[in-house]
Amino acid sequence: MNAVTGPVVVGVDGSGQAASAARWAVREAALWHTSLTVLTASAVADPASGGKASAWLETKAVLAQQVARATRDELAAAEPLVPVMTKTSTAGAEAALRQASAGALVLVLGPPTGTLSGLLAGSPDADLIARAGCPVVIVRGTGATRAGGPVVVGVDGSPMSDAALAWAFEEASRRGTRLVAVHAWRDTESGRPFASNPGSPLVEIGEVEQRLLAERLAGRRERYPDVDVEPVVERDLPGDKLLERSAEAALVVVGSRGRGGFTGMVLGSTTHALLHRADCPVMVVGGELRA
């Protein structure tokens, strides 16, 4: 097992989606035997008044503290063995989350309609997810744990994918559940799946892709003998297969960008689709699991 190097941090804003994220986050902290930090952010400097504090923004800051304390009390009651702390930042939401991620094990947030309003590729929110100092989990729905559901990970052979695979093995091990490793391959030159015709070398290509996945899994399997691994290799679009698998998953883990990403995109198209449409929490990994 890997040593824990920081707390789970959850950003809350008083919304129902953020509350669901907080409930998921405290269970994650329990799995990792670490603490939970409930983070709220409310800038007290008003640009309209030359950067001076305003009564309205100060009131918002007080409300943010109240939200943090109420969330802390609820979570502490739900998981008495998890130390739950609060932190209120005056730096503004994105800056506060970025700063908190630098020392966190995992950063947990609500979906685009909650903590990260207006999540779009190329937006500041997408930039935060891609460049955070730790994995970011977007909790969709109620955040309820899908008992017995597997951890699903997307594997494409890229460095970000390898980092996601390391996290996925650890998450599956801690949950005592199986790991579904999905490798969907396609024609990277045309951007469309290979056509099924007698002249297409699909058998040979499929064997190469199966070897790629087997090689990526080999070392991890030795390190995690307790994790039952289901390798899945299919000729399809990665986003479609991972979305399909998310219907039964407890968690989907992906790298922030894969090998097919376009220059200038901070999040890959597969990751972006999952953040908006997955049926379970999605972990976006940008770096290796810290040991």
Domain architecture of the chain: domains with CATH: 8-138 (3.40.50.620), 151-285 (3.40.50.12370)
Residue numbers of the chain with a pLDDT score lower than 50 = 1, 46, 114-124, 189-195, 198-199, 261-265
pLDDT given at position 189: 38
pLDDT given at position 122: 41
Query: What pTM does this model have?
Result: 0.85
CA angle 257, 261, 265 (to 5 degrees): 80
pLDDT given at position 91: 79
pLDDT given at position 5: 76
pLDDT given at position 202: 57
Residue 17 to residue 196: CA distance in whole angstroms: 43
> What do you get for the CA distance between the two ends of the chain, in Å?
9
pLDDT given at position 20: 93
pLDDT given at position 265: 42
3-class SS string, the chain: CCCCCCCEEEECCCCHHHHHHHHHHHHHHHHHCCCEEEEEECCCEEHHHCCEECHHHHHHHHHHHHHHHHHHHHHHHHCCCCCEEEEEECCCHHHHHHHHHCCCCEEEECCCCCCCCCCCCCCHHHHHHHHCCCCEEECCCCCCCCCCCCEEEECCCCHHHHHHHHHHHHHHHHHCCCEEEEEEECECCCCECCCCCCCCCHHHHHHHHHHHHHHHHHHHHHHCCCCCEEEEEEECCHHHHHHHHHCCCCEEEEECCCCCCCCCCCCCHHHHHHHHHCCCCEEEECCCCCC
pLDDT given at position 114: 42
Residue 228 to residue 172: CA distance in whole angstroms: 9
Residue type at 144 in one-letter notation: A
Distances (CA, A) of 94 to 11, 45, 83: 10, 15, 25
